[in-house]
Amino acid sequence: MPQLFGPYANTFSRVGLTALLTGPLLVIGGLVTSLWTPYTTGLGHQPEQPIPFSHKHHVGEDGIDCRYCHATVETTAFAGMPSTHVCMTCHSQLFTSAPMLAPVRESLAEHKPLTWRRVYELPDYVYFDHSIHIAKGVGCAECHGPVARMPLTRQAVPLKMGWCLNCHRDPGPHLRPAASITDTSFTAHNTPAQAAAYVRAYHIHTAHLTDCSVCHR
């Protein structure tokens, strides 16, 4: 009587069953892992801007305070972006013919604002207020990283919900003196006692900081 199955039938069946059982697990594992890749978190995101603005030069070398360009960071949810007139307060006198600044000069001449592209972009369902974080002792560098060393601005943190919640649960280690809020070279190394003292000094109450309505309104 002729054989219905070849000598490798058992091997093929084992391989097929193994793939059937492990395939879904591999797919699920891959999807979960992808949630933490830069493609999903935006970590390192560095969009092209109308001019190659260097924080390393302006902040790190020239010592310009963050609030000079981001003028509303202490008073509104949006930090604000520099207008053409802010740029021209310096560049009407410095590097007036530099080719890379041609878009700034054109913006001024044509009365058309520069279109800056967001480096940090949250979903529409997430509410973030710069002013309250500044008022409560969270320095710019906590979220924006060492911008004074960035020739071109990039996203320095993952912006995952868990990353935000970790700080909301225990903000003390991330706080700093009010005078150092915009100092991007300042690094917080708070002892537990210092962290607790900052929480008290800034009147931070963590009991409801992880409520959904804090960020989702």
Residue 172 burial by CB count (10 A; 0-12/13-18/19+): exposed, middle or buried? buried
The answer to whether residue 30 is domain-embedded is no
The answer to whether residue 9 is domain-embedded is no
Provide the domain count of the chain: 1
pLDDT of residue 31: 54
Q: Which one-letter amino acid corresponds to residue 122?
A: L
The answer to whether residue 34 is domain-embedded is no
| pLDDT band at residue 42 under the 50/70/90 scheme | confident
Integer Cα distance of 133 and 136 in angstroms: 5
pLDDT in tens, 109-133: 999 999 999 999 999 999 999 999 9
pLDDT in tens, 79-120: 999 999 999 999 999 999 999 999 999 999 999 999 999 999
| pLDDT band at residue 150 under the 50/70/90 scheme | very high
Tokens 């053409």 correspond to 84
Q: For the chain, state the CA radius of gyration.
A: 25
Kind and range of the H or E element at 130?
helix 130-135
The answer to whether residue 175 is domain-embedded is yes
Beta-bridge mates of residue 138: 175
Integer Cα distance of 151 and 60 in angstroms: 10
Kind and range of the H or E element at 30?
helix 9-34
Q: Is there a contact between 171 and 136 (Cβ–Cβ < 8 Å)? A: yes
Q: Percentage of the chain with pLDDT > 70?
A: 82
Q: State both tokens at 184.
A: 């991007």
The answer to whether residue 66 is domain-embedded is yes
**10 Å Cβ neighbour count for 185?**
11
The answer to whether residue 29 is domain-embedded is no
Choose between 217 and 31: higher pLDDT.
217
Domain that holds residue 127: 55-81+116-215
What is 82-124 written as a DSSP string?
A: --HHHHHHHHTTSSTT-GGGHHHHHHHHHT----PPPSS---T
Integer Cα distance of 176 and 143 in angstroms: 13
The answer to whether residue 182 is domain-embedded is yes
The answer to whether residue 87 is domain-embedded is no
pLDDT of residue 35: 56
